[in-house]
Amino acid sequence: MGDQPTSDGERTPEEATAKAAEPRPEPDEPGTGDAPAAGPADSGAAATTEEPTAAEEPAAAEEPPAPAEPAVSAEDTAVIRLPGAPAVDDTVLITLPGPPSIDDTVLITLPKKPVGEDTVIIRLPDKATAAKKQAGEDTVIIRLPGAKPKGAKALTTARKRAAGDDTVIIRLPQAPQKKAAGRAVVSEPPIEDTVLLQLPAEPKPEPRTALDLGWAPWVLALSSLGVVLVALAYAGGRHETGWAMTAYWAGQVIVFSPVVFRLLSRLAGVAESFVLVMGLAANQYMLKWMYSPDQFRFPDELQHWLATTLIAESGDLFRQNNALPPAVHFPGLAEMGAGLSLLTGLPVTGAGTIVAAVAHLMFVGLLFAAVLRASNSPAMAGVACVTYATAMHYLFFNSMFLYATAALPYFMLTVWAHRRWRTGGGARFLALAALGIAMTTVSHHVTAFALVATLLLLSLTELALERPRPWETLIPPALALAVVCCWIGFVAQDVVAYLEAPLGRLASSLDQMFGGAAAEEGGPTKPVPLAQLAVQGLGILGLLVLYLAVARDMILRKDRDTWRWAALVGGAAFFAGNGARFLGSGGPEIAGRLSTFTYVPMSIIAAIAIVHAVRIVPPKDENGRRWLSVPPPGVAVTTGRRLTNQVYIGTTLITLLMIGARTGGWPPVSALLPGPYLAAAYERSVDDFGVDAARWQERNLPRESRVGGDITAVALSSTYGRIDPVREVGELYYATSWTPAEQTIVRQLAIDYLVVDERLGDLLPSDNAYFQDDPMAGRITEPLSDTQLGKFDKAAAISRVYDNGTVRIYRMEPS
Amino acid sequence: MNPVRAGVLAGLTVAAAAAVEFGPLVLSVPGGLLLAFVLPGLALIEAIFRPGRRDLGMVERAVLVPSLSLTVLVLGGLALWSAGGHLNRVSWMLVCAVTTLVTIGVAFYRALHAPAPAPASAATAPRGLSQERLIKDVLPLTLAVLLLAGAGVWSFADSVDTYDLTVSTLSAGQPGQAGADGNRPVQVSASGLPPAEGPYRVVLSGAAGAELGRQSITPGADGNWTGRLTVPGDERVTVRLFRGAETAAFRTLIIAAAP
């Protein structure tokens, strides 16, 4: 993905883009790293980057510089700054390395030094080629820095430019003394293939500072209006108003799309892009938090609330947590929450909310940092981040107070540190990677496995593409594998059994699909609405098109950038993971969880395609080949109408992906808004009746009591109630009378208490099942009957020991 | 790390630790947040990265500060517990504060023995708060923060108002052993009973529906009541709570016969 130019310790990406107008050396100088390597990720910005020296960037210097290709800039606009001092020679010589593209794209290589006075000379490479150009293809637009306002010119076309704008338009068909638009005058070429431009004197453009926030504050203010709209929608949902859903979708789009639009305009520098991305992440976290601001309601969050509370109360790690036993041995999140709660004096819920927010922002920031280092393009880093924000689980699961939320930033930290180490950052970055591996391992099992796989992928691609083979690249994956194996082998042995069940289901589904095994008995699942399917399908299709375009581009360019290839392989894993949606009832959940990791490379691929406008339908070459035509070298510098179209189309596509993620992610469409109680609907099922029953259990029942109930009751009893939950109790509730068969089940499962919510008799379950491992899953056509719910009151050996008018608790008496 | 910077960081660390240990909530919250998310990370960055070299960009520095701080919290806590320590406010405060102070010392020592840093780059932020910056940056960011804060506070209040209910409950403990008369004592409790909706009474009835007894109850100001009832040990007993003049039971318990 290009290489960062800044690990030389002299210039950071911010400084590189802040000095955007400096003329740069010839690209074929040694020590240019992989920035000029052929490929779309070398964001097209020759004038804005400074490469590391060979002495200070040994790893980067090993990469062979690509011949005759321009180095690239953080923005897709070639920026030429004339030397400021009047006495200094202020002419820039621009040599076109090949024929101009047939569209409004020109590749410009800046020479070592400027010559002449107030003049840009463009040498046309080949008169014969130039003669082939058609009308409309004869314009080169060179954008000069110091725009005022800086952000306003992205979407203007050549025709709209007026005097005072800082864009020079050069018409290539040479006519003597032809006056071009604006302030540039094209004079007779001094030699046959040269166009000479005389630039009028103008004030020195204001340099961009490293902390220039551009339009980010105003864009974020607009985005915050969307947050207010969603807050209104949530309130409307709580009070069951009709307009709430409209306000919700309008708010979601207003929160998201302005940021995407601004990032896609490619005018934002590092600081502006970073502020935009972090502001969007903060705003989207607000959307998650405002759903249930006063307490955790999602069962998994409650499980980690208990784990945190146990540490805060006892001062011990690895205390038994019946709600989620494997989480005991991955205490990263719980330590963060307990530590913050103890240090600040805040309740665990407040501390957990802050920890989840910080972890979420850290993850986004580290993703931005990693892509920025890899591409040296704030536009690419920003677009990758906003594309990742359309992942299915991004808004809720990856922002919740869950152990994966704590592990994800360290997953990304390790990837970033690995990148810095491999590009000559030194051993300190390897040490940071080791810290990241340790933190990921003690925080979440699946993320730790994904980290091992990711590091292995990065190493293998490097080994496959680099000569001589850099065997030291295997150190991080080997270290990660060793740490993860040691942790699971010595500390978290129970995670093997915990993961066996879902892996078994996955294997069973694969066997049914490919091996012809008989399908498990199960009812039909609730059909997904057609509109929802269409939105999600269009989004995935759009991503597939972008993926194939980038893949074609890389293959035909004979791209050898290791990170781009790793991203391409990871993107393929994303599509394979989406196939898991069709693997039985657990398929969508597996696909969603996989996408948390596989969507990272997919987002990078999408960003490459969108930012660099990789040709989806390439033009025919001179041999009449379209799909096998070799893309022009270097990176397209897109301007004018084409850039305008890209911004609009890109914003539309990413917004579509976001809408697809909201409809297919969490919460489900039926519970997108908070509101009154729904049966077996996770967050929507937690209210004071259930919580009070659970609190009563915590105060009155022994910790070893085994309590059964529906999905919500079990979640609350095992967390607020702190008892031992029994989940597979559906048969006891579906029975119409209490018989010895039910007594046998009670004995077998060693059940002490059952929680019965009488609302199960009024409402159908939102997710096809009232209970975990529900024997009637997918076949429930009517709520539980009074007979089914009332049989507990008639059984001689059962006492009703708690009643709050809605929830009852029954004690199984010894018979 | 120059002496002034090291001194400020060390002073801030000591102040934050003191606020955590001795301060009221209004001080312990910012102190705790600094110790958990900021100070250890800042000190570690200064200690790890060579003075005078700008190995890290602004973005990387911004994300590394909380990342490394939380690493100290988690791995430090893990190490402390493994060494037999107890994880409480003092120990976690010491883990964070001592780590920060030690790494400040390391950074200071390295700075003393490192060559003088190169002069800063020409790309510097404008000094002061110009009117342009006020309009371009501060005003919209303030607006954004106010909008978010307003939406957050209002959402919180709306959620509490919507979901915070007074739940009226009736519950029973485990019955005691039957006495010589065959009766068992059972502790019965009620909560969330608004006095204004009373009077309340408890009625006991046997398996055949015959009334075994009744008792008026008077909840306290907090709406709670608890009392000991005596029920037959060999009979299944229903305990009904009635409210005001209502004829249907408000809450019901069932006590199974002794096995």
Query: Of the candidates B37, B59, B75, which has its C-beta nearest A274's C-beta?
Result: B59
Query: Of the candidates B31, B77, B147, which has its C-beta nearest A227's C-beta?
Result: B147
Looking at the complex, report in whole angstroms how far the Cα of residue A175 sits from the nearest Cα belonging to chain B. Answer: 41
Q: Which two tokens stand for residue B81?
A: 């517990």
Segment A630-664, tens digit of pLDDT: 777 666 666 778 788 888 989 999 999 999 888 88
Q: Identify the residue with better confidence: A616 or B78.
A: B78
Is A431 close to B48, i.e. CB distance below 8 A?
yes
Is A796 close to B77, i.e. CB distance below 8 A?
no
Give the strand pairing for A139-143 and A753-757: unpaired
The sign one gets for the Cα dihedral A675, A677, A680, A683 is: positive
Q: How far apart are CA A183 and CA A174, in angstroms?
A: 17
Residues of chain A with Cβ-Cβ distance to B74 below 8 Å are 331-332, 335-336, 339, 439, 442-443
Which percentage of chain A shows pLDDT scores above 90? 53
When pLDDT is cut at 50, 70 and 90, the band that residue A193 belongs to is very low
Looking at the complex, report in whole angstroms how far the Cα of residue A265 sits from the nearest Cα belonging to chain B. Answer: 19
Q: How far apart are CA A486 and CA B195, in angstroms?
A: 61
Cβ atoms of A814 and B174 closer than 8 Å = no
Confidence (pLDDT) at A14:
59
Looking at the complex, report in whole angstroms how far the Cα of residue B221 sits from the nearest Cα belonging to chain A. Answer: 19
Query: Of the candidates A210, A218, A700, which has its C-beta nearest B173's C-beta?
Result: A700
Q: How far apart are CA A790 and CA A793, in angstroms?
A: 6
Residues of chain A with Cβ-Cβ distance to B64 below 8 Å are 413
Backbone angles phi, psi at A101, to 5 degrees: -65, 165
Which chain B residue has its CA at the smallest distance from A372's CA? B59
Is B251 close to A803, i.e. CB distance below 8 A?
yes
Which chain A residue has its CA at the smallest distance from B240's CA? A803
Which chain A residue has its CA at the smallest distance from B52's CA? A9
Cβ atoms of B57 and A6 closer than 8 Å = yes
Looking at the complex, report in whole angstroms how far the Cα of residue A86 sits from the nearest Cα belonging to chain B. Answer: 20
Q: Which two tokens stand for residue B24?
A: 């009221």
Segment A224-247, tens digit of pLDDT: 999 999 999 999 999 999 999 999
The sign one gets for the Cα dihedral A333, A772, A766, B251 is: negative
Q: Strand, coil or helix: what is A403?
A: helix
Residues of chain B with Cβ-Cβ distance to A207 below 8 Å are 122-123
Confidence (pLDDT) at A646:
83
Considering only A284-293, A359-368, B239-248, which range has the smallest mean pLDDT? Answer: B239-248
Is A238 close to B172, i.e. CB distance below 8 A?
no
Q: Which two tokens stand for residue A419?
A: 């990148």
Is A293 close to B56, i.e. CB distance below 8 A?
no
When pLDDT is cut at 50, 70 and 90, the band that residue A213 belongs to is confident
When pLDDT is cut at 50, 70 and 90, the band that residue A585 belongs to is low
Residues of chain B with Cβ-Cβ distance to A798 below 8 Å are 254, 256
Q: Which two tokens stand for residue B95?
A: 């883990």
Q: How far apart are CA B36 and CA B19, in angstroms?
A: 13
Looking at the complex, report in whole angstroms how far the Cα of residue B57 sits from the nearest Cα belonging to chain A. Answer: 5
Is A354 close to B33, i.e. CB distance below 8 A?
yes
Q: How far apart are CA A717 and CA A712, in angstroms?
A: 8
Closest to A290 (Cα-Cα) out of A252, A331, A243, A340: A252
Helix axis angle for A299-314 and A332-344, nearest 10°, is 60
Is B171 close to A696, i.e. CB distance below 8 A?
yes
DSSP assignment letter at B191: E
DSSP string for A474-519 = GHHHHHHHHHHHHHHHHT-THHHHHHHHHHHHHHHHHHHHHS-PPP
| Average pLDDT value for chain A | 78
Looking at the complex, report in whole angstroms how far the Cα of residue A294 sits from the nearest Cα belonging to chain B. Answer: 6
Backbone angles phi, psi at A13, to 5 degrees: -55, -35
Q: Strand, coil or helix: what is A188?
A: coil
Cβ atoms of B193 and B200 closer than 8 Å = yes
Question: Chain B interface, mutation test: which of A698, A799, A812, A813, most B Cβ atoms within 10 Å?
Answer: A799
Residues of chain B with Cβ-Cβ distance to A218 below 8 Å are 136, 140
Q: Identify the residue with better confidence: A528 or B191.
A: B191
Domains of chain A: which residue ranges? 1-81, 92-198, 534-636, 682-812
Check whether the bond before A149 is cis (ω within 30° of 0).
Answer: yes
Span A788-814, mean pLDDT? 93
Cβ atoms of A711 and A719 closer than 8 Å = no
Torsion, Cα B148 B149 B150 B151, to 10 degrees, reads 50
The CATH number of the structural domain formed by A682-812 is: 3.40.50
Whether A703 has a pLDDT exceeding 60, the answer reads: yes
**Domains assigned to chain B:** 3-117 (no CATH), 169-255 (2.60.40.10)
Confidence (pLDDT) at A555:
92
Confidence (pLDDT) at A519:
56
Closest to A788 (Cα-Cα) out of A738, A724, A728, A739: A738
Residues of chain B with Cβ-Cβ distance to A57 below 8 Å are none
Question: Chain B interface, mutation test: which of A800, A802, A807, A810, most B Cβ atoms within 10 Å?
Answer: A800
Whether A544 has a pLDDT exceeding 80, the answer reads: yes
